[in-house]
Structure 1
Amino acid sequence: MDPYLRYLVNLSTTNPVTVIEDIVTVDGNLLLAAAAPVDEQAYRLLQGKQLAKPLAHYVRLSSLISAAGLLQYLLDTIRSTEYFQSLAERKHPLSSLEPVCAELDKFPLVQQFLTVMSSQMNDLFQRTLCVGLWGLYIAQEMRLPPSDAADVFWAGMTHDIGMLFVDPKILHKTEKLSTEDWQHIQGHVEISRSILASVPGLPAVIVAAVAEHHERCDGTGYPLAKVESELSLAGQILAVADAVVGIYFNRFKAQGRRWREVIPVLEMNRAAYLYRSCEIVSTMIHRSELPLPNVVHGSGVPEFAERMLQQNLHLQNWFIQLRDCLTAVGYTHGDRKLHALQNIIFHIATTFKGTMLFKADLRESLESMASDEGVGMSKVVADASLVQQEMLFHLQRLSRMVQMYIASGEAKDPTIRARIEEGFMNISGYLERPDQPLN
């Protein structure tokens, strides 16, 4: 509760927050009476206490994001984003957003959370707007009924509410996150699900989709490592929408690159997502007709290529160490979480073995491709670099997951866990220096 309480106190300086009914502990002890302001004194009284019900149910904000206000936020996002503007002009008229946004006024608790997020975690709010739009557009491209498309949109708008309850010190860390930090962050999924389950009248399909937005069709997601047959359609659409936004914001936006560059990354991850959704995303982005920028050119190409070649050996060694660590224990252990980790290493092998990154002589392969295809070396190197960045992402992700598996104590066989832990000792150094070869 404390992070959200702190956000409310901070917000109250510009948007007064008041108590609407007596706040009591699980034991019935009165902490704060109705009509009291949520200020620094309230923070001291409430901090660390176990309340009879979630804090959000006890308070009211003086001003909430309305349906009209949300619509304006979405319109601003579309008009300031070349890609969304192109979509709106070609197939998704802005008028289609009005009936979807109108649903917001039915759910005051959702209004409260989005208002707090927009004020206290604005970067997350901007991403959330994009996830909502992507989810809606994918659902519309699938020709889902308007009510079903609206459910996907609202799942997108609420999927990260749990982040409001994650310790901001962890979210803002500049140093490497520990295994415990990652577990804490991943807990936002269950927090979001639990909060939304308490919102009166909110459709169950929205709650289920939010609970599944980090699950993957191939069983490599979390928190339950579900597979495609166990996932709802809304959850699978939301997973793709969230992934597209994450790929763009985390890897491309800061470099001034465009949404279109998400396509090859998504293509490399088809096994993890609903195939139809991936196809639709690619079609939508191609339809926008936005050109691909050239990320490296001119005299900078040789130096860029040389760095990439050096890192490629580093990534191949990292992959081999992870593969050996996870596969040496066999596959008859009956441990679902370990099977999920093994599935990821197979996914990485399948995805990248056919790419140029695993060619015996990458340098010659790059030169040959440029010659055979009649394109500039800068384009070939840029494409190879994009594949390499994606491989780095997967190796980092899997390494963290192995760390968390070891630390969780949930392994079915302690002997197998010990063998994996021993094997992982050879891998931990890669996480310390992920972008460069080890000395």
Structure 2
Amino acid sequence: MNETLPSPTAHLARAVIDCADTRPVTAREAIYNTQGMKVLDKGAAIHAGLYDRLMAHQLSRPLEDSLAIEGMVDGRAIRQGIEMLLAFEAFYARLVPESTKLDRLLDIIESIPLPQAIALQLTIAREARPALYEHALRSAWLMAWMADEPLRPQFDIAMAAAAGLLHDLGMLHLNPVLTQPKIELTREQRRELYSHPLVSRLLVERHHVYPQEVVRAVMEHHEYLNGSGYPRGLRGRQISLMGQQLALADLVVAMISGHDDGGELRLSVLLRMNMHRYARPLIQRVLAVLDPAQDPRSDSVPVLERPDAVLQDAHRVLQQWPRGCPSCTDLTPARQEGLVAVSGLIDELLRTLAEAGATPEQLAHLDAVDADPLLHKELSLLAREAVWQLRAISRQARRRWAAGRQGQYPDALQTWLDQVEALHQRVHGHLAGSTPADPMPAHH
């Protein structure tokens, strides 16, 4: 790869200025531009008035290398932050109920090496982007739990936790609007967002205290087993084990801590509906510790009037996909290949629904849905996710056919696309304002 370390950006500098509002930030060395001109003296205090000066120069070294903040994040601060979340968030405490094991994992996490520039960026996140910092702490704890297997060396557990702690470091260097929930991103913003695993990788890789396994996992934390992830669209065993763990940890933290509605019930449904994207043994391990009935956020799940009927209709639409499109004209080799790929996605979703117990035959054996509030909520989430995945497949079909601005789809394909859109509108008319699962977890 030919990526180079990102130059200091306006976004990181703005985060530094925001941090300086709460605690002293100083230049720990003289700061020069690439022409050798001094921009700031050693010991200079950073404040809002210096923002334009910093932005007017291409600095000779990354900005995070040259600054210090009073009360920097260290291993002890990370441990205390995790202890705080364990005290208030039942899911994370439930992962490790034994006090001896809990203390051992906290000791391991506290030992993670933090070079000066890494510690500074974590401090900036804590002070100026607290949601990003809290996501890092939760991810570190979850990764330590995932990596804690019999006879596993403590160093390996520490490095898995380090991957969780640092995987989103690149977000500090990107536009903070990208982290705001429920906003419609432009194409350029989405491209910038999709770059953050690469930026994070570069920021971690330049510090040689982290092995390549960590660097690779950081870059892979949005790669999915079925090849639908980014930035490289890796598939199956092309993704490292730590990368698979980190991808799942990212989703779990986003769903457990990034949503006020659903909580563990929402996560349970998403995991069962995404077995094709995440490692099945890891999913089963997380499912084993979920307890939706004890999560008060389950009460806030908006329900569909007849989620079982929606699931039946989704299954019917999937079955009506025009395989091979025998009546289609202009069936070029590329379009034929695209239809085959979409057929594979259709089959994948049908298998997923069967594994989730949501086929028409399985639903017929259920008692009255509205008589069991938790079941009603669970089926509503299942229906919502199934329809979202179905619509994602329909968009893939549109792209694969590539009709163009003025082009038309064959009648059979257009009829199927219209059915998908009608079902999507029907579901989201009942769930106005809600957000389905996305390949990019909600904290981004």
Match of residue 167, structure 2, among 144, 159, 173: 159
Are 2:260 and 1:254 equivalent residues in the alignment?
yes
Are 2:381 and 1:386 equivalent residues in the alignment?
yes
Maintained 8 Å contact 1:314/1:436: no
Maintained 8 Å contact 1:92/1:137: no
How far off its partner does 1:217 sit?
A: 1.6
Amino acid at match of 1:386: L
Are 2:274 and 1:281 equivalent residues in the alignment?
no
Inter-partner Cα distance in structure 2 for 1:76 and 1:216: 31
Aligned counterpart, 1:228: 236
Inter-partner Cα distance in structure 1 for 2:322 and 2:192: 27
Amino acid at match of 1:103: S
Inter-partner Cα distance in structure 2 for 1:335 and 1:19: 60
How far off its partner does 1:230 sit?
A: 1.4
| CA gap 1:293/1:234 in 2 versus in 1, 3 angstroms | same
How far off its partner does 1:31 sit?
A: 3.0
Q: Secondary structure at the match of 2:305?
A: helix
Inter-partner Cα distance in structure 2 for 1:243 and 1:220: 15
Are 2:8 and 1:3 equivalent residues in the alignment?
no
Inter-partner Cα distance in structure 1 for 2:192 and 2:425: 20
How far off its partner does 1:351 sit?
A: 1.8
Are 2:429 and 1:436 equivalent residues in the alignment?
yes
Amino acid at match of 2:279: L
- Give the 5 Å matches for 1:156-195: 156-172=164-180, 175-195=183-203
Match of residue 22, structure 1, among 10, 18, 30: 30
Amino acid at match of 1:347: E
Inter-partner Cα distance in structure 1 for 2:36 and 2:69: 24
Maintained 8 Å contact 1:16/1:37: yes
| CA gap 1:434/1:290 in 2 versus in 1, 3 angstroms | closer
Amino acid at match of 1:280: R
The TM-score, its normalising length taken from structure 1, stands at 0.77
Q: Secondary structure at the match of 1:370?
A: coil
Inter-partner Cα distance in structure 2 for 1:173 and 1:296: 22
How far off its partner does 1:238 sit?
A: 1.0
How far off its partner does 1:56 sit?
A: 0.8
How far off its partner does 1:27 sit?
A: 4.4
Per mean C-alpha deviation after superposition, the further-off stretch among 143-152 and 172-181 is: 172-181
Amino acid at match of 1:348: L
How far off its partner does 1:334 sit?
A: 11
Inter-partner Cα distance in structure 2 for 1:90 and 1:420: 63
| CA gap 1:36/1:63 in 2 versus in 1, 3 angstroms | same
Give the % identical residues.
21
Aligned counterpart, 1:204: 212
How far off its partner does 1:332 sit?
A: 6.1
The TM-score, its normalising length taken from structure 2, stands at 0.76
Maintained 8 Å contact 1:12/1:39: yes
| CA gap 1:379/1:15 in 2 versus in 1, 3 angstroms | closer
Inter-partner Cα distance in structure 2 for 1:434 and 1:179: 26
| CA gap 1:429/1:366 in 2 versus in 1, 3 angstroms | closer
Are 2:85 and 1:84 equivalent residues in the alignment?
no
How far off its partner does 1:387 sit?
A: 0.6
How far off its partner does 1:223 sit?
A: 0.5
Inter-partner Cα distance in structure 2 for 1:159 and 1:215: 13
How far off its partner does 1:104 sit?
A: 4.0
Inter-partner Cα distance in structure 1 for 2:130 and 2:339: 37
Pairwise CA RMSD of aligned residues? 4.5
How far off its partner does 1:57 sit?
A: 1.2
- Give the 5 Å matches for 1:37-436: 37-47=45-55, 49-90=57-98, 93-104=101-112, 106-141=114-149, 144-172=152-180, 175-250=183-258, 253-255=259-261, 257-259=262-264, 261-285=266-290, 291=294, 295=298, 304-306=303-305, 308=307, 333=334, 344=345, 346-352=347-353, 359=360, 369-370=366-367, 376-394=371-389, 416=402, 418=404, 435-436=428-429
Amino acid at match of 1:45: R
Amino acid at match of 1:56: E
How far off its partner does 1:23 sit?
A: 2.9
Gaps of 5+ in 1: none
Inter-partner Cα distance in structure 1 for 2:115 and 2:337: 38
Q: Secondary structure at the match of 2:148?
A: helix
How many aligned residue pairs are there? 414
Maintained 8 Å contact 2:303/2:380: no
| CA gap 1:261/1:232 in 2 versus in 1, 3 angstroms | same
Inter-partner Cα distance in structure 1 for 2:382 and 2:190: 25
Q: Secondary structure at the match of 2:68?
A: strand
Inter-partner Cα distance in structure 2 for 1:138 and 1:326: 45
Gaps of 5+ in 2: 1-8, 431-444
Q: Secondary structure at the match of 1:208?
A: helix
Maintained 8 Å contact 1:219/1:225: yes
| CA gap 1:353/1:192 in 2 versus in 1, 3 angstroms | same
Inter-partner Cα distance in structure 2 for 1:54 and 1:337: 44
Compare the two structures and name the one with the higher helix fraction: 1
Per mean C-alpha deviation after superposition, the further-off stretch among 222-231 and 119-128 is: 119-128
Inter-partner Cα distance in structure 2 for 1:309 and 1:168: 40
